[in-house]
Structure 1
Amino acid sequence: MLTILNHTVIPEFETLFATMDVTRSPFQHLLTYSIMVLPKFISIFFISIFLILIIMRKIIQRLPINKQIRLLSKLPIFHHYYRLYKTYQFASEFALFYKHGVTLHHIVNLYQQQEDLYLNYLASVIAIHTTKGDTLDQILSRVPCIETELITFIQQGERSGKLGIELQLYSTIIIDKIQNRFQQQIRFIQPTIFLILAILIVALYAVIMLPMFDLMQTLK
């Protein structure tokens, strides 16, 4: 919108004001300059963010999988969704496995055969610590991207003998958590966007209409 205005409406008014020798205040000059520069600033900002994300992705991909998981589990804002997604992936898959009677040893073998580095890492952690006599909840407490609530559900499922049901229940809870968190962020983003649009509309009004009022006064 600003780009179109900068190439159509605003130049016409600038020509009109220059022809009629309308004197504008420093504030009006500042608003005009800001509106003309803002599209370039926004473009540079988003291009910079895009390039930074690409560079970060390349750097993270070069790290060992255990360091990737630790880093992604601590990134601001992103880590909430990352931890919830990985926990949901584990809970839903293991619930399906246990529902069909697949043993933990067989699950580890299946994960080791996958091309997914995360599944390979998870399989190796489970395999190493099960040989040491650790239980599943103790093993998962060492995985940084797993929510601690999952461990509580696993403990309850192991005590009741209904681990698959508990995992399926927790996977539905995670979906609700993701939706609620997303809705909360939308509730913050929407008013912010409306506020920015309102400021831009007022700025455009001040840039175009205030000099017009001065011009009308001069004609009178």
Structure 2
Amino acid sequence: MLMGLSQKIRITPFKKKTLKSDLQLRFLHRLERSLSSGYPLLDALETIKWDQSLVKEAEQMILMLKNGESIDKAFSRLGFHHSITSFLLFTRSSGNLSESLVKCKDMYQKRITYTKKFEQIIRYPIILLIIFSLLLFFLNRTILPSFENMFHTNPETNTSIHLSMEIIAFMNHFTLVIFALVVGTVIFWLHKKKSIPIEKRIIIYQSIPIYKSYLRMQTSFLFATHLSSLLKTGMSLKDIFNALENQENLPIISHYAKHVNKNLGTGVHLTNVIKQIPLLDKQLTIIFQKNTNTFNLEKDLSIYAELLLEEIHQKILKIFTYIQPIFFIILATFIIFIYLSLMWPMFQLMNTI
């Protein structure tokens, strides 16, 4: 429909920026609701302009679509999150934009929920951790040196104070080094990630225990979702894997699709190829073994993707339940250490009297 628009409209260049998450979600919600009500795409975008906070984005998207841009590239240029644009990547082939919008809206809604919940969970522990770190620094710089001067005549007590000061100094230096390493690693990864070959990136991902499990579920979910969506169009598996290989939004999926095409070209059965891919769940192998026709395969992949999304949701929430206890255990350790640092010299002095 969009490709049939012969009139080209000049688009004023604009800088790509990241749209606020709440505006992204509202845009998706309003567009999906208008499409579900029977509006054509361009008319649905016109209805979004009724929301004053989305007028600029709706106008820019209308201009881009009339100029021949694909829906996923239009969303990308407007600064929508890559998880949204990756979901809309194959709407040109499947033609089911409304269904894709429902899926990516639900997924992005969960992402916002996770982010807010994580911020709520970690906010107070971090504040308390900073306060106790400052308290340890103050203890090491002022109180313990005063104790050292006070008890310099008692060698045993003085040794305990020295040990406490060394432990606190080590903890402060260790914390600073870890913080610097984390920040440096993140900055390096953000700048150099695209220059690292995808094969090496996958090896790095697989070496991170918790993230490896999450990435396997996420990759399996995206693989099953897009494969199911493209199977609905009647495309052959060969054409589907070619489409997955040629897209750029999902580099891991593209890499694995290339691996599948290469092995299928040598006569290896699809089930055996998928079984060899480390970041795809073994359940996918069972699904491909079970189904001999594309209709049943599409249905099973769709249901499996929904179950996998729910499993991802449950596991992320479970991880969140461990965050606060871990932080509070660290804080409790700090409190006990401060107490012992202050009271232990007193106890030693009392024993000598």
Into which bin does the TM-score normalised by the smaller protein fall? 0.7 to 0.9
Q: Residue in 1 aligned with 2:224?
A: 91
- Per the alignment, do residues 203 and 119 of structure 1 end up closer, same or farther by CA in structure 2, a change over 3 Å counting? closer
- Per the alignment, do residues 100 and 72 of structure 1 end up closer, same or farther by CA in structure 2, a change over 3 Å counting? farther
Q: Deviations for 1:36-69, whole angstroms, at most 9, x for unmatched residues? A: 3312211102323554566688888666434543
The CA deviation at 1:91 is 0.8
Letter in 1 for 2:166: Y
Q: Deviations for 1:154-192, whole angstroms, at most 9, x for unmatched residues? A: 223436941122112222332344345445555555544
- Give the % identical residues: 22
* Aligned counterparts of 1:15 and 1:53: Cα–Cα separation in 2: 38
Q: Residue in 2 aligned with 1:139?
A: 273
Q: Do the aligned residues in 1 keep the contact of 2:242 with 2:261 (CA within 8 Å)?
A: no
2:146 paired with 1:13 = no
1:44-123 alignment, distance < 5 Å: 44-51=177-184, 64-66=197-199, 68-69=201-202, 71-72=203-204, 74-77=206-209, 78-116=211-249, 117-123=251-257
2:308 paired with 1:174 = yes
Letter in 2 for 1:13: I
The CA deviation at 1:26 is 2.6
* Aligned counterparts of 1:118 and 1:76: Cα–Cα separation in 2: 16
Q: Do the aligned residues in 1 keep the contact of 2:225 with 2:302 (CA within 8 Å)?
A: yes
Q: Residue in 2 aligned with 1:148?
A: 282
* Aligned counterparts of 1:106 and 1:160: Cα–Cα separation in 2: 13
* Aligned counterparts of 2:254 and 2:137: Cα–Cα separation in 1: 55
Q: Residue in 1 aligned with 2:46?
A: none
Q: Residue in 2 aligned with 1:4?
A: 134
- Per the alignment, do residues 76 and 13 of structure 1 end up closer, same or farther by CA in structure 2, a change over 3 Å counting? closer
Q: Report the TM-score when normalising by structure 2.
A: 0.49
2:197 paired with 1:197 = no
Q: Do the aligned residues in 2 keep the contact of 1:91 with 1:171 (CA within 8 Å)?
A: yes
The CA deviation at 1:21 is 4.6
Q: Residue in 1 aligned with 2:160?
A: 27
- Per the alignment, do residues 27 and 174 of structure 1 end up closer, same or farther by CA in structure 2, a change over 3 Å counting? farther
Return 5+ residue gaps in structure 2 as ranges. 1-130
Return 5+ residue gaps in structure 1 as ranges. none
* Aligned counterparts of 1:4 and 1:67: Cα–Cα separation in 2: 40
Q: Deviations for 1:6-45, whole angstroms, at most 9, x for unmatched residues? A: 4545544246435645753533432233123312211102
Point out which structure has higher relative CO (alpha carbons under 8 A, 6+ apart). Answer: 1
- Per the alignment, do residues 8 and 111 of structure 1 end up closer, same or farther by CA in structure 2, a change over 3 Å counting? same
The CA deviation at 1:151 is 1.0
Q: 1:126 aligns with which of 240, 260, 278?
A: 260
Q: Deviations for 1:88-135, whole angstroms, at most 9, x for unmatched residues? A: 110111122223434323323422432254343333333334445554
Q: Residue in 1 aligned with 2:65?
A: none
* Aligned counterparts of 1:14 and 1:160: Cα–Cα separation in 2: 74
